[in-house]
Amino acid sequence: MKKVLFVINPIAGGEKKDVFLSRLEAFSDENELDYQIYKTTGKDDEQHVHNIIVEDKPEIAVAIGGDGTLLMVARCILHTNVRLGIIPFGSANGMATELQIPNDKEEALKLILEGREILIDTLLIDGKHTCLHIGDVGFNAKVIKRFEEDKTRGLLSYAKNFFREWRFSQRMKCILTTENGVRKIKCHMIAFANARKYGTGAVLNPIGKLDDGFFELCILKTISFKVLLLLILTFFTGALYKTRFAKIIQCKEAKIKLKRNRKMLVQVDGEIIGEQNSVKIEIVPKSLRIVVPAVSSSSFLDYLVAKIEYEKG
């Protein structure tokens, strides 16, 4: 009998979960699962989930919610044999999109039993924050902060806050240190990406692989009106990196520091972690087990990757 822990965020995506919970219980009974359901409350959830995993030793811990719920569950099972299952229920489901987890809840449930296991890298930020998917400093972090403070949700709300921030965004002067040296950069944004896509489907990092022992620094040098048009035109391909307005640096560790002790806003997997003068990123190879579809479909992006130029370290 397979032992499963379901961790559900009742308010994720602004969607009620009553009907899904009934189906979840029926599914578990139909498949003779030894299961437990934990509903997050916003108070000491990570500690509670960690305690359940230590005491009950489930084979699979399933995150039911958005990227925040996913990250919280993942932190509890890093470097263990417990596998992470995903049922996307958030406003943005970046990691689920990346891994081709179906949005259909019934299909996502079936995947828990029928999917295959992969072992992926994670990122360690400043020696204490885990990043599964994508973090960044600068422009997008500011958009996310605006989005968090907005009362509305969804893609239209994100677009509204994107254009509000775009009107006032200024370039940062950074000192970027990687394993291969130091360089000075002026830019609007630097993302540190383990994966390829944002939850919207936008391709940030066309060369990203979750298990290759590297992450990518994706640098947007400017966000002029011309670049904005290019961003829209290359939304699903990442071909912006074929222009002079953006670049990719592949590395295993990096430090981003602002000049003159200025501070930048930092976000990790959609969560703001604060304003600081510098941020350090390290790859943690093969540190998380995840259940994904048995067969992944290819896309045009797979054929484009070979044409994208990037730097090592």
Q: Is 266 a residue whose pLDDT tops 90? A: yes
Mean local confidence (pLDDT), 230-242: 76
φ, ψ (nearest 5 deg) of residue 16: -70, 145
Whose tokens are 């972690």? That residue is 273
Q: Is 150 a residue whose pLDDT tops 80? A: no
Mean local confidence (pLDDT), 303-308: 58
Mean local confidence (pLDDT), 187-195: 94
Answer whether 210's CB lies under 8 Å from 176's CB.
no
Q: Percent of the chain having pLDDT more than 90?
A: 59
User: What is the structure's pLDDT at 36?
Assistant: 96
User: Radius of gyration over alpha carbons of the chain, in Å?
Assistant: 19
Answer whether 62's CB lies under 8 Å from 88's CB.
no
Domain limits of the chain?
3-114, 129-285+295-312
The chain-wide mean pLDDT, for the chain, equals: 87
Mean local confidence (pLDDT), 111-121: 94
Cα separation values, 311 from 157, 181, 214, 249, Å = 35, 12, 12, 5
User: What is the structure's pLDDT at 311?
Assistant: 85
CATH assignment of 3-114?
Answer: 3.40.50.10330
User: What is the structure's pLDDT at 261?
Assistant: 82
Element (H, E) at 6: strand 3-8
Give the pLDDT band (50/70/90) at residue 129.
very high
Give the count of alpha carbons within 13 A of 65, CB side only.
Answer: 22
User: What is the structure's pLDDT at 156?
Assistant: 66
Answer whether 61's CB lies under 8 Å from 272's CB.
no
d(CA 121, CA 129): 14
- Helices (H) and strands (E) in the chain — how many of each? 9, 17
Among the listed residues 42, 41, 89, 40, the one whose alpha carbon sits nearest the alpha carbon of residue 66: 89
Mean local confidence (pLDDT), 160-185: 84
Please, is 264 exposed, middle or buried when counting C-beta atoms within 10 Å of its C-beta (0-12, 13-18, 19+)?
buried
User: What is the structure's pLDDT at 200?
Assistant: 72
Model confidence over 54-105: pLDDT tens digits? 999 999 999 999 888 999 999 999 999 999 999 999 877 888 988 999 999 9
Residue 94 β-bridge partners:
none
Task: Dihedral sign for Cα 98, 101, 104, 105, please.
Answer: negative
Model confidence over 13-60: pLDDT tens digits? 777 788 899 999 999 999 999 999 999 999 999 999 999 999 999 999
Q: Is 303 a residue whose pLDDT tops 50? A: no
d(CA 65, CA 83): 17
Q: Is 295 a residue whose pLDDT tops 80? A: no
Cβ contacts of 282 within 8 Å, gap of 6 or more = 123, 124, 127, 252, 253
d(CA 282, CA 123): 6
Mean local confidence (pLDDT), 136-140: 87
Residue 289 β-bridge partners:
83, 119
Among the listed residues 179, 9, 143, 145, the one whose alpha carbon sits nearest the alpha carbon of residue 87: 9
Please name the CATH architecture into which domain 129-285+295-312 falls.
Answer: Sandwich (2.60)
User: What is the structure's pLDDT at 101?
Assistant: 92
Model confidence over 201-221: pLDDT tens digits? 778 898 999 999 999 999 999
Q: Other C-beta atoms within 10 Å of 30: how many?
A: 8
Mean local confidence (pLDDT), 246-270: 92
d(CA 191, CA 219): 6
Q: Is 299 a residue whose pLDDT tops 80? A: no
User: What is the structure's pLDDT at 17?
Assistant: 80
